Chains A and B, each alone.
Chain A
Amino acid sequence: SAVISQKPSRDICQRGTSLTIQCQVDSQVTMMFWYRQQPGQSLTLIATANQGSEATYESGFVIDKFPISRPNLTFSTLTVSNMSPEDSSIYLCSVETAEENTIYFGEGSWLTVV
C-alpha cells in the first residue's frame, strides 16, 4: 500500500484567489492523479500528473485553471486558480501502485470558496 499525505486538509478561500494543494507519497509511484468530488457527486478525474512533463487533463479541465506540477515520483501539487464558489469541492490526490494495481487516495483537501 501507499501512504499519501495531502495539505491543506481544508481551507476557506476568498473568491478570485488561488490555492495550491500538495500531495506527498511515502514511496515512488508511477501514476498520480487528481480528482474532484463536488457535494453530492461522484469523483471526477481532473488530470494525470506526469513526472517531468505537462499533466494530461480530462475534458472540461484546463491547465490555466488547474496547473499541476510533478517534479519527482513522490510529490505533486494542484493549484486551483482564480477561485469561484463553484470550485468548492473536495480535491483528492490518488496514486496507483504497480505491485497491487490498486488506486489509493489521500485524505482529501476540503475547499470552500466564499
Chain B
Amino acid sequence: RKEVEQDPGPFNVPEGATVAFNCTYSNSASQSFFWYRQDCRKEPKLLMSVYSSGNEDGRFTAQLNRASQYISLLIRDSKLSDSATYLCVVTPGYTPLVFGKGTRLSVIA
C-alpha cells in the first residue's frame, strides 16, 4: 500500500459547485497533515493545514479522520481559479513530508 493515496481525477465541475477530495495514508504514526495546491508548471503552495478538530478557511474545509486514516478537502462555491492539482501531504511529525500524487480539479464556466 502506498504511503499516501489520492484519486488522480480529473474532477470536472461547474462553477459554483461543491467538490470534495479524499486522501488516505498508511502510516498510523502520522502527526501532521496538509493540503498543498499546485498550478500547472508551478511550485506547490500551502493551501491549509489539517487539524484533528477540522478547520475552515473561507470556502475550504479540511477534515481529519484518524480512525480511518484519511483526510478530506471540501471546496464550496467553486471558482475558475480553483482549477489546479491538490496535493495531500502527511508527515510523522518531523520532516520530510510525504506527498500524494495529487488530484486534478478543473472548474468549468
Chain A residues packing against B (C-beta within 8 Å): 31, 33, 41-45, 48, 58, 92, 96, 101-108, 110
Contacts and interface: CB of A to CB of B under 8 A. Distances in A.
Contacts of B41: 110
Interface stretch (B50-58, B72-80, B93-101): B93-101
Contact of B44 (A48, A58, A105, A110): A105
Contact of B87 (A42, A48, A58, A106): A42
Contact of B46 (A33, A45, A103): A103
Q: Name the prevailing secondary structure of the B interface residues.
A: loop
A110 B70 CA distance: 32
Interface residues of B, number: 17
Contact of A42 (B45, B49, B100): B100
B46 A104 contact: yes
Nearest to B4: A42
Nearest to A108: B43
Interface in B23-57: 32, 34, 41-46, 49
Interface string B80-109: 000000010000000111011110000000
Contact of B96 (A33, A102, A105): A33
